[in-house]
Amino acid sequence: MVNLQKKITLSIIDYKGSKHIGLAFEKDETILNLLRQKFPLLRWSQSFKTWHLPYVSSLREQIFQLMQGIAWVDYSLLKNDNIVEKALKPKQIPDKKEIILEPLTNDKQVQVNNFERYLKSKRYSDNTIKTYLDALKIFLRYFHTKTIDAIVNDDIITFNNDYILANKFSSSYQNQFVNAIKLFFGKIQDRQINPELIHRPKKERKLPNVLSKEEIKAILEAHHNIKHKTMLSLIYSCGLRRSELLNLKPLDIDSKRNVVIIRQSKGKKDRITPLSPKILDLLRLYYKEYKPTQYLFEGQEAGTMYSEQSLQKVLKMALVKVKISKPVTIHWLRHSYATHLLENGTDLRYIQELLGHNSSRTTEIYTHVSTKNLQQIKSPFDDL
């Protein structure tokens, strides 16, 4: 019997010019795991605040069958499908190749489990383990008619063309597959995939998104809630990643030395960053009101970590209040921190340490968005 307490609402969304089906439901690990297993292309959209899948005509029925006895599927919003279709110009709808991925066979699942044990023994981060396992499962499911021993280099080229490129996935997503496949065949199968025949995408050079100091000031002053204000301010003032902020403990704030200790961040490295006196005053006001125990910023229940989704909502609310329409994410605050440091004359080597970058080349990208030297260049237009 269908559990009427659980509900999935289907809708049509225009995701980056492509027609997708949105799946809205209350947080439920059982439902989410079932959907992920059945639909490897399932993704979360921060803009629409919903899970979504590329549109195919049979998708509604597939979801309905999958959720039988688990949740009620409300597809009433799909009845106006033709309205959305008209709103999307034909050229905006990419011609995607619909591919049905069969479940993993038992022998392949055993090899995936072996790969997971290897990654854990090498102490890869939880995020990396999940990314590599998801990529490997999709790859092996794509070649469901072949045994692992029969997979060769040409199959990887086929996969890149017929799955990655056909579905217009990003180059970074393609790289995740390349990394996972190489590691799996090299360490678990004990046979090398020829690196020359694995087509890595040409690395894109994208400039980091940076906000002006005026925009940052407006965002940080938008909230009256001391907790929301402190979280956003600490991210910008210390150049923190989202996960770094959420994993902070009260003892990581060293008020005697005026530093924040960031433990086991990306690459399993510790680092320290200066603590602004203004932020310290803000933290004291926050601590006095909320009295956190386990984490510096906790969820609704004491001792639980504040969620990533809630943190992004805090930023979105600030953007609405100050009427900034740019698609700002938490990471923009970190990019802005680094760029503003550079424009203030801070040496790149120090910025590299503060951000926790392994390579100086990663930090040098901020020289391309700093306007300090550009503003000294006089346009020939001014002489006309």
Task: Encode 276-294: b = buried (16+ Cβ within 10 Å), e = exposed.
Answer: beebeebbeebeeeeebee
The set of residues, in sequence order, having a beta carbon less than 8 Å from that of 372 and lying 6+ positions away, is: 342, 343
Concerning whether 52 is annotated as a catalytic residue, the answer is no
Task: Give burial (CB, 10 Å; 0-12/13-18/19+) of 343.
Answer: middle
Cα–Cα distance measured from residue 177 to residue 159, given in angstroms and rounded to the nearest whole number: 10
Concerning whether 241 is annotated as a catalytic residue, the answer is yes
Cα–Cα distance measured from residue 196 to residue 304, given in angstroms and rounded to the nearest whole number: 46
Concerning whether 86 is annotated as a catalytic residue, the answer is no
Residue 196: strand pairing partners:
none
Please tell me which residue in 137, 241, 242, 340 is annotated as part of the active site.
241
Please tell me which residue in 52, 108, 229, 357 is annotated as part of the active site.
357
Concerning whether 266 is annotated as a catalytic residue, the answer is yes
Please tell me which residue in 6, 60, 182, 266 is annotated as part of the active site.
266
In one letter, which amino acid is 357? H
Concerning whether 331 is annotated as a catalytic residue, the answer is yes
Q: How long, in residues, is the chain?
A: 384
Please tell me which residue in 19, 137, 242, 334 is annotated as part of the active site.
334
Strands 43-45 and 50-54: antiparallel
Please tell me which residue in 6, 60, 199, 331 is annotated as part of the active site.
331
Task: Give burial (CB, 10 Å; 0-12/13-18/19+) of 175.
Answer: middle
- Please report the beta strands in the chain, taking only residues with DSSP state E, as ranges in sequence order: 7-15, 18-24, 43-45, 50-54, 72-74, 253-254, 259-262, 271-274
Concerning whether 191 is annotated as a catalytic residue, the answer is no
Catalytic residues: 241, 266, 331, 334, 357, 366
